[in-house]
């Protein structure tokens, strides 16, 4: 009957399931319906209807096709080069193909009933084991992982294991999954080579910045108990962040080829230092990385403490002090190193690197060729300085600054001659700040021009108000500090002229104070500005005189009216015990006063705190004094009270 359009019939009394079907799926789909009438069967008592015959024929054809498909699938499964196994819901291997047996060094039949997770190492970590069990239980659609397996020939291979549920089984059959194992060793090796190129510096062959931060992040996320012995680790981390001093000059003069050789040689010495440190202080690993340019880092995991880390920094400095012989060039370099050591808990990669970068900057600022340990107090001061710098400009516009005034008193009669305007910052976070907290910052970022203009206008306006409020009293002059950057970055002469015109203050009542280092050696624009101000009638005073380089020859050529002696000379009238006079300081002050007077200058002594100091200054011939003996810096209304209290003043 083979090849007929009807297909074979089952003998009477035979179950269709017992038939060994050979009809392919293609034949089943194209088979026509059986004829309506068939020859009588003498041994059959009842002839089935035409519809019943058609139904039976379809059932036999479907069963035959399913059996054929199953045989085809099993043949493909066994012949496949991809290692595979059918696994039941308990994780046992139902059947495996020859490729999997060969991969594991056994036969396919020997793998039956084995735990699949043991064959391909799926139970070695909790995350992988949980995902695998979820697929077996039907709660996960698929699972894939990469495992490192041992090949029967002894080599190690990387395998990609995939586990997916099998479809097409009936509800009565137990759930099964298909496990496949793909050898990806070649792909993994290529990925490793590419990753090594991406994560290492081609010049020094050290780990680069990317790999450094990857290792740093892992080190900070790893719990303090990590090894099998469960012995507690220190839970600390250390970092030496270093920068070569003067490397740019080598690159610029000798070329990048020599510069690259020098970097490679430095990297070799850093590795030697790290290895030596590991032998002295075993425990955590060390990673030497090139962070970019001439910057390197040595990361110490499980640090033994600050002392051990500073010892490593000292050894690095000592190693780099020895000259390098490169292509006939004998080069010497040094390094500045920022050292940070702290607990892992509460430390972030960003925070650690910020601290290291700040400390490296300190090492550079402190003189280079040295290591500097991170100082929380110094860093807090830096952070405060940064906060002040970022808010200084808007603070002027918000009106957060005020002026206080300290009297300048005649030494001969004790009469208040003038006042010095001292700016204060009413900071919303840090409270009232004195000038030494923010004037330096303002000079650095240029906001001193805006602030200085405000101080000058406010002080002149206040001096004019005192003059108008007390017309019968001699007018007080107002002394205002001027930064040298105000002379360079603004038209100080035009600003002064405009403010004097606005306020109506006489130029002779304005005194501008500049530091000795700013005035001495002035030339060009600053000198012309000072001369123009002097010609206008404004008095020029040299503040803190005696603390700079004191090129006295300039005193005869500069338009200076007043010398303000630095307070250190006045304080030095007595030794540190406070009881014995210091003749040397008194002699120096006397000589400076005599010199100033012969040049037609007046002298003001700062920091006068005792009556004894005032008496000796008066005897020496000092013209005016300023200090706590007379008054601290006070609000403008208190200065008005001093004006009315002067000898000969009318009392209300």
The 10s digit of each residue's pLDDT in 548-562 is 555 566 677 788 999
Angle of helix 256-280 versus helix 247-254 axis, rounded to 10 = 140
The 10s digit of each residue's pLDDT in 205-263 is 999 999 999 999 999 986 554 444 444 455 899 999 999 998 999 988 889 999 999 99
C-alpha 489/C-alpha 267 separation (Å) is: 45
Q: What is the pLDDT of residue 527?
A: 81
Mean pLDDT (whole number) for 596-613: 91
For CATH 3.20.20.450, the residue range(s) in the chain are: 387-644
Q: What is the pLDDT of residue 503?
A: 96
C-alpha 494/C-alpha 484 separation (Å) is: 16
- What is the H or E stretch that residue 276 is in? helix 256-280
pLDDT of 192 strictly over 90: no
For CATH 3.30.450.20, the residue range(s) in the chain are: 70-189
Mean pLDDT (whole number) for 523-549: 83
User: Which of 11-20, 35-44, 248-257 shows the lowest mean pLDDT across its residues?
Assistant: 11-20
**Predicted TM-score of the model (pTM):** 0.59
Q: Is 604 helix (H, G, I), strand (E, B) or coil?
A: strand
Question: What beta strand segments (E) does 328-412 contain?
Answer: 329-331, 334-343, 371-373, 401-410
CA 298 and chain centroid, separation: 16
**306 token code pair:** 């600050």
C-alpha 436/C-alpha 444 separation (Å) is: 13
Q: What is the pLDDT of residue 59?
A: 59
Q: What is the pLDDT of residue 298?
A: 97
Q: What is the pLDDT of residue 276?
A: 93
Mean pLDDT (whole number) for 94-106: 90
List for the chain the helix, strand, coil content (%; round to 5): 45, 20, 35
Q: What is the pLDDT of residue 35?
A: 39
Cα–Cα distances (Å) from 568 to 101, 346, 423, 582, in that order, read: 92, 46, 22, 12
- How large a percentage of the chain has pLDDT more than 70? 81
Residue for token digits 């002295």? Answer: 280
- How large a percentage of the chain has pLDDT more than 90? 53
C-alpha 332/C-alpha 324 separation (Å) is: 6
**pLDDT averaged over every residue in the chain:** 83
Q: What is the pLDDT of residue 61?
A: 67
The 10s digit of each residue's pLDDT in 582-595 is 677 788 889 989 98
Q: What is the pLDDT of residue 464?
A: 96
Q: What is the pLDDT of residue 52?
A: 55
Residues near 520 by Cβ (< 8 Å), separated by ≥ 6? 542, 548, 549, 550, 551, 554
Cα–Cα distances (Å) from 651 to 472, 475, 641, in that order, read: 12, 17, 10
Of the two residues 437 and 37, the one the predictor is more confident about is 437
The 10s digit of each residue's pLDDT in 410-455 is 999 999 999 999 999 999 988 999 998 999 899 888 899 999 999 9
pLDDT of 200 strictly over 60: yes
Cα–Cα distances (Å) from 571 to 491, 565, 576, in that order, read: 37, 11, 9
Model confidence band, residue 290 (pLDDT cutoffs 50, 70, 90):
very high
The 10s digit of each residue's pLDDT in 369-422 is 999 999 999 998 888 888 898 899 899 889 999 999 999 999 999 999 999 999
C-alpha 61/C-alpha 57 separation (Å) is: 6
Mean pLDDT (whole number) for 469-488: 91
Question: What beta strand segments (E) does 229-333 contain?
Answer: 236-245, 286-292, 295-301, 324-326, 329-331
pLDDT of 62 strictly over 90: no
200 closest CA partner among 294, 274, 290: 290
Of the two residues 311 and 154, the one the predictor is more confident about is 311
Q: Does domain 387-644 have CATH number 3.50.50.60?
A: no
How many residues are there in the chain? 652
377 closest CA partner among 353, 357, 352, 359: 359
Cα–Cα distances (Å) from 492 to 234, 445, 449, 482, 527, in that order, read: 61, 18, 9, 9, 12
User: Which of 77-81, 109-113, 302-306, 520-524 shows the lowest mean pLDDT across its residues?
Assistant: 520-524
What's the 3-state SS for 114-144?
Answer: CEHHHHCCCCCCHHHHHHHHHHHCCCCCCEE
408 closest CA partner among 538, 535, 562: 562
Classified by CATH at the fold level, domain 70-189 comes out as: Beta-Lactamase (3.30.450)
Q: What is the pLDDT of residue 51?
A: 57
pLDDT of 17 strictly over 70: no
Model confidence band, residue 124 (pLDDT cutoffs 50, 70, 90):
confident
C-alpha 317/C-alpha 337 separation (Å) is: 8
Model confidence band, residue 8 (pLDDT cutoffs 50, 70, 90):
very low
CATH architecture group of domain 199-222+234-374: 2-Layer Sandwich (3.30)
Of the two residues 632 and 282, the one the predictor is more confident about is 632
Cα–Cα distances (Å) from 217 to 197, 221, 223, 329, in that order, read: 20, 6, 12, 40
CA 631 and chain centroid, separation: 48
C-alpha 497/C-alpha 202 separation (Å) is: 63
438 closest CA partner among 478, 386, 477: 386
**509 token code pair:** 């009542």
Model confidence band, residue 46 (pLDDT cutoffs 50, 70, 90):
very low
Question: Residues of 173-188 as b/e, b for ≥16 C-beta within 10 angstroms?
Answer: eeebbebbbebebeeb
C-alpha 112/C-alpha 132 separation (Å) is: 19
C-alpha 214/C-alpha 440 separation (Å) is: 40
Torsion angle, CA of 574/577/578/581, rounded to 10 degrees? -30
């Amino acid at each position: 009957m083979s090849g007929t359009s009807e297909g074979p019939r089952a003998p009477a009394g035979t179950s269709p399931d017992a038939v060994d079907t050979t009809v392919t799926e293609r034949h089943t789909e194209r088979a026509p319906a059986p004829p309506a009438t068939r020859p009588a069967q003498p041994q059959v008592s009842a002839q089935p209807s035409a519809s019943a015959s058609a139904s039976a024929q379809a059932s036999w054809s479907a069963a035959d096709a399913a059996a054929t498909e199953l045989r085809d699938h099993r043949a493909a499964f066994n012949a496949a080069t991809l290692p595979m196994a059918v696994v039941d819901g308990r994780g046992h291997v139902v059947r495996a193909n020859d490729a999997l047996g060969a991969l594991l060094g056994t036969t396919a039949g020997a793998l039956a009933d084995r735990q699949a997770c043991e064959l391909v190492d799926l139970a070695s970590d909790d995350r992988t084991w949980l995902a695998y069990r979820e697929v077996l239980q039907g709660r996960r659609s698929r699972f894939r992982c990469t495992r490192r397996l041992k090949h029967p020939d002894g080599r190690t291979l990387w395998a990609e294991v995939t586990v997916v549920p099998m479809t097409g089984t009936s509800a009565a059959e137990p759930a099964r999954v298909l496990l496949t194992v793909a050898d990806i060793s070649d792909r993994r090796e290529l990925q490793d080579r590419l990753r090594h190129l991406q994560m290492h510096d081609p010049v020094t062959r050290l780990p680069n910045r990317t790999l450094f931060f990857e290792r740093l992040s892992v080190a900070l996320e790893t719990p303090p108990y990590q090894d099998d012995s469960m012995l507690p680790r220190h839970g600390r981390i250390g970092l030496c962040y270093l920068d070569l001093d003067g490397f740019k000059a080598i690159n610029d003069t000798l070329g990048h080829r020599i510069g690259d050789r020098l970097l490679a040689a430095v990297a070799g010495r850093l590795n030697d230092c790290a290895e030596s440190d590991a032998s002295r202080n075993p425990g955590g690993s060390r990673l030497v990385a090139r962070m970019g340019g001439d910057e390197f880092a040595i990361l110490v995991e499980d640090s033994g403490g600050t002392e051990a880390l500073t010892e490593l920094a000292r050894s690095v400095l000592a190693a780099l002090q020895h000259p390098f012989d490169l292509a006939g060039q004998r080069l010497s370099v040094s390094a500045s190193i920022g050292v940070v050591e702290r607990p892992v808990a509460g430390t972030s990669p960003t925070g650690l690197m910020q601290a290291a970068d700040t400390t490296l900057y300190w090492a550079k600022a402190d003189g280079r060729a040295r290591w500097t340990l991170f100082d929380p107090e110094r860093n807090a001061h830096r952070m405060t300085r940064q906060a002040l710098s970022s808010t200084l400009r808007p603070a002027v516009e918000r009106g957060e600054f005020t002026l206080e005034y300290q009297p300048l008193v005649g030494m001969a009669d004790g009469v208040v001659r003038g006042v010095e305007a001292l700016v204060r910052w009413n900071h919303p976070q840090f409270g009232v700040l004195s000038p030494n907290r923010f004037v330096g910052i303002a000079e650095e970022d240029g906001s001193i021009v805006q602030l200085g203009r405000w101080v000058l206008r406010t002080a002149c306006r206040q001096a004019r108000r005192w003059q108008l409020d007390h017309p019968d009293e001699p007018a007080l002059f107002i002394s205002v500090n001027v930064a040298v950057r105000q002379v360079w970055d603004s038209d100080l002469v035009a600003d002064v002229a405009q403010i004097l015109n606005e306020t109506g203050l006489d130029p002779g009542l304005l005194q501008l104070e500049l530091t000795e280092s700013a005035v001495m050696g002035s030339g060009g624009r600053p000198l012309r500005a000072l001369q123009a101000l002097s010609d206008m009638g404004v008095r020029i005073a040299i503040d803190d005189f005696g603390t700079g380089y004191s090129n006295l020859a300039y005193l005869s050529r500069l338009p200076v009216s007043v010398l303000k002696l630095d307070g250190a000379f006045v304080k030095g009238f007595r030794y540190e015990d406070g009881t014995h006079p210091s003749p040397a300081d008194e002699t120096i002050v006397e000589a400076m006063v005599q010199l100033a007077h012969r040049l037609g200058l007046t002298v003001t002594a700062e920091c006068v705190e005792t009556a004894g100091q005032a008496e000796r200054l008066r005897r020496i011939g000092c013209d005016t004094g300023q200090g706590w003996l007379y008054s601290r810096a006070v609000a403008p209304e208190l200065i008005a009270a001093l004006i009315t209290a002067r000898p000969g003043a009318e009392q209300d």
